[in-house]
Chains A and B, each alone.
Chain A
């Protein structure tokens, strides 16, 4: 038994004639943190939708723990750029949304949700409605909702894209802490090269027309990573490599 969690095996997606994602393969290790960077139209969201089971691949398949999950939703936790909190549910109610949607949210689920909120600094807000929270808090709740769905693999599609720079840095560090606590496997989409390098074990650079994986960079930076990591020569070097790849593509 290898420690491969997720296998993207020859996945290709066409919308009619248009090739949205050229044949793509990737093996993701258990507990690995992978970030995807690339310009719009490089197929990263399409790839996530395939892994989430929302989009059936035209050809190829997605394996999780050896099981084919292509076109079958409900196997991963998916978080979007918009927090998509349900306005009529409290923080607790939103965190247990997955349980409510797929069966019944039990009192134990709610107790777990409150515990989660408490552990990550939202203990005083469990009965608040989303509209009463700040953008950063809402995004935390959205991540807690994804965690409380109890899936080993988390897909995060530009989850911090809408936040201001400072909140964003806080959220990135918080996410790393949550990730270290929970030992989940994370696929994380971003536009931001700094963010991609700072978070990842591996950075996948994608390019458009057709969407495809252009390069994969190993990030050997030691963990835990802090704001200081952003200033190390190793970080700068990696960042310039990734940028060079992106920039090279844009010129060509």
Chain B
């Protein structure tokens, strides 16, 4: 059963590739318009050593930006949940940050932060932190007041209540946000590279290949970017299963039993 469950999505991907391949051959689409999967695959293989280091750079930007964004988002949510005034002041600002088109602020960011890693981290962070804030806030405010009352009746202090009751309640919503964030982070890194980069990554490479009408090369880059996004999503899914076992299991894992 498990094999079937794992094989299904793989089959779906192969199906898409097959239809794509078939369409390109049947309608004789030129490669500069739409390369076939096999052309994309060989473009990826031919340029592999180059693309690999570009991918590493983009992965690095996405990952660090993701961590920074998630960390700031989590801290903000905790602060906003506990300090009413912080909530009232910050919430409209948070909404505003999401209403501003990222592409529009990418250029001004370069003026402030230069061509290095910093503007990319800001862009990725801006994309990732929002779902984290919103979800963790929901998690913190959704806690049964009775649970907190119970802890208080036992004479527990605010720190213990936070660590044992409030904090674990944020894990499920946090991971929902992290899964979204992991998928979006790559987009942020690409936008960051488009506006400003001295260190080449896949986003920059994409523009270059596009200008040369190396469409197969562009698709190869896109394929890899997609893989990074999916990889991040899967990693978060695995971490989620480990961190919140009560959502999927009826008993604690043996090695966690005490």
Contact = CB atoms under 8 A, between A and B. Distances in A.
Interface of A: 52-54, 72-76, 78, 80, 82, 84, 86-88, 90, 92, 97-98, 100-102, 107, 110, 127-132, 149
B147 interface: yes
Contacts of B257: 90, 127
B211 interface: no
B160 A84 contact: no
Contacts of A90: 251-252, 257
Contacts of B251: 90, 127-129, 132
A54 B250 contact: no
B75 interface: no
A131 B156 contact: no
A122 to B, nearest CB: 13
Contacts of B164: 86, 97, 100-101
Task: Rank and list the top 3 A-B pairs by shortest CB-CB distance, nearest first.
Answer: A74-B155, A132-B250, A101-B156
Most buried by A among B160, B161, B252: B252
A129 B249 contact: yes
Contacts of B155: 53, 72-75, 101-102
Nearest to A98: B154
Nearest to B160: A101
A84 B143 CA distance: 11
Interface size class of B (residues with CB under 8 A): 20 to 34
A84 B154 CA distance: 13
B47 interface: no
Contact of B150 (A80, A100, A128, A132): A80
A54 B149 contact: yes
A88 B153 contact: no
B11 interface: no
Nearest to A107: B258
A53 B156 contact: no
5 contacts: A78-B154, A88-B244, A100-B160, A127-B257, A131-B250
A101 B151 contact: yes
Main secondary structure of the interface of B (DSSP, over half): helix
Most buried by A among B155, B244, B250, B258: B155
Given A53-B153, A101-B154, A130-B246, 11 more contacts: A53-B155, A78-B150, A78-B153, A86-B168, A88-B244, A90-B257, A100-B164, A101-B156, A102-B155, A129-B251, A131-B250
Contact of A54 (B152, B161, B244, B245): B152
Interface in B234-251: 244-246, 249-251
A86 B252 contact: no
A102 B155 CA distance: 7
B250 A149 contact: no
Contacts of B151: 97, 101
B165 interface: yes
Nearest to B254: A127
A148 to B, nearest CB: 11
Nearest to B250: A132
Nearest to A96: B258
A53 B156 CA distance: 12
B166 to A, nearest CB: 11
B144 interface: yes
Interface string B134-170: 0000000000101101111111100011001100100
Interface string B21-32: 000000000000
Contacts of A100: 160, 164
Contact of B154 (A127, A132, A149): A149
A247 B160 CA distance: 45
Contact of A86 (B149, B156, B165, B245): B165
A73 B160 contact: no
Interface in B117-146: 144, 146
Contact of A82 (B146, B152, B156, B165): B146
Most buried by A among B144, B161, B246, B249: B246
B156 to A, nearest CB: 4
Contacts of A87: 246
A132 B171 CA distance: 19
B202 to A, nearest CB: 39
B177 to A, nearest CB: 18
A129 B154 contact: no
Contacts of B144: 82, 84
Contact of A74 (B146, B153, B258): B153
Contacts of B252: 90, 127-129
Contact of A97 (B146, B154, B249, B250): B154
B249 A80 contact: no
B246 A131 contact: yes
A75 B258 CA distance: 27
